[in-house]
Structure formats: structure tokens, C-alpha cells
Structure 1
């Protein structure tokens, strides 16, 4: 990533708008991928005890664990993956969904968000399917909590 790239404010509740703005800053997809990977590196560590079968997201090429809890009417997401790029994609998804109410999650235009990022065009079909599986898991939890 270039020295003039925007700082990563992930620890300061980065938003989906922040992600769109930051990725728009880069001219090449190589730089965008580096930024996405850096997002994943900034995610809090998911304790090994939460790497359980019931938290494993099916449909992902890599292993993805997702712990979803509700606190004060908002869904709290904790995630991990064994692949750097997938962990970064989880950061992109968390920017849209983490600490939101179930209603906000269900109302959020995730397809429009991914379109604004041009993300699905630049992922392999299996990575795209995995991304959709992650989103589906979160939306199911939001639907159950709503």
C-alpha cells in the first residue's frame, strides 16, 4: 500500500461508507486487495475456544468462524478465518453489519454495497459464494432476532 493511503480506522468503528471511500482511493486492485487484507489484520482475535463446528460458516472455500451475539438490541459479530483475504472480506462485511440492530441489518443494501466496491467482479466464484454465505449467516441471525 502506498504511504499516502488512508489510515485504517477499523478499531474506531469503520463504516461501510469508510470502506467505499478508502477502496475508491486506490487505482489498482492489487492495492485494494492489500487494503482488504490489512482490514482483516485489524480484526480482534477470535478466541480459539470459539473455533467450533457450530460457528463454522458452510459454503466458504476457507474456514470461517462467526460468533453472533445480541447485546442491547444490537448484533455483535466476532469472526475469524484461516485465509488472509477472507479475513479481510470479513472486515468489509463487519463494517456494514457489526453492532447494528437486526432491522438495520435486514434493511442494509448489501448487494449495492458490494456493487459500489466492485467486489464480486474481482473475486473468484468460490470466494464470491463464500462471501454470500457469510452474509446469509448474519442475515439469518438478524431475522431470528428481529
Structure 2
């Protein structure tokens, strides 16, 4: 599935909720379903700088795709990284680099996060794109 198709699916899912409390609950549920990252990847090198809570992100290349795993010590943040992993994992580095991020505005995520969480979201996206740039440079 393309990044755009996954983003459209997420926008549709969020449109089913009437208010932001329901959306927060949905984000938390997504976080609970996030596959566990291996303990060996919970290192300072994989810690995303700029997040209020701890968020670990690990990316590796499998064939021509980038596969991400992540975890967080905060349940809402874990849900946010789960959304990003759903969008970007198993995509090519070029597709990740070129991805339009407007779906975040469409679901209203950034405007409904505290300023520190919104900064964390930007840091998460930046780290995901940095992995893609690094894997792209190797190719």
C-alpha cells in the first residue's frame, strides 16, 4: 500500500470520531497495539531528541524498504509513533523522503497536542526521514 493510501485511510478513521477525547483514546489504542521494540534497540542512539517523553525509533533496511520499530514511555506518544510507523514502515527510502505530511493537519493532530508534544511529533518525522536519507545514500 502506498504512503498516500495509508494516510487517506488514517484520515478516514479519524473522521469517524466526533470529538478529540475519542481521538485521543483511539491514538492510545493504536499505541497499545504497537509491536514491541527489541530491548537491544532501547539505546541512547535510538532515542529521539526533542521529545518530552522517551521515544525510541529503530529503522533497518529489508530489501529496498525501510522497516521501523519504536516504543515510548508515554502512552499517547506511543500512539503517535504508531501512526507514523504505520505510514512509513515497509516503504522505500525515496517514498519516505518525498512523502507529503499534510495528513497530520487533516486529522488535526498537531493543533490538538501540547507545544512540547507537537515538537516531539516534528522530531519523530525528522528522524524517520533521516533514516530514509541514510539508507538512500547507501544505495
Under a length normalisation based on structure 1, what TM-score does the superposition of the two structures give?
A: 0.87
1:72-131 residue CA offsets vs partner (Å, 9 max, x unmatched): 111000000000000000111112211100111011111x11111111110001000001
> Could you say which residue in structure 2 is the equivalent of 1:22?
13
State how far apart, in whole Å, the 2-side matches of 1:113 and 1:76 are: 21
- Structure 2 residue ranges without an equivalent (≥5): none
State how far apart, in whole Å, the 1-side matches of 2:9 and 2:81 are: 15
Say which SS state the counterpart of residue 66 (structure 1) adopts: strand
Work out whether 1:136 is the aligned partner of 2:123: no
> Could you say which residue in structure 1 is the equivalent of 2:135?
145
Say which SS state the counterpart of residue 65 (structure 1) adopts: strand
Is residue 16–residue 92 contact of structure 1 (8 Å, CA) maintained in 2?
no
- Structure 1 residue ranges without an equivalent (≥5): 1-13
Runs of 4+ off more than 6 Å: none
Q: How many residues align?
A: 132
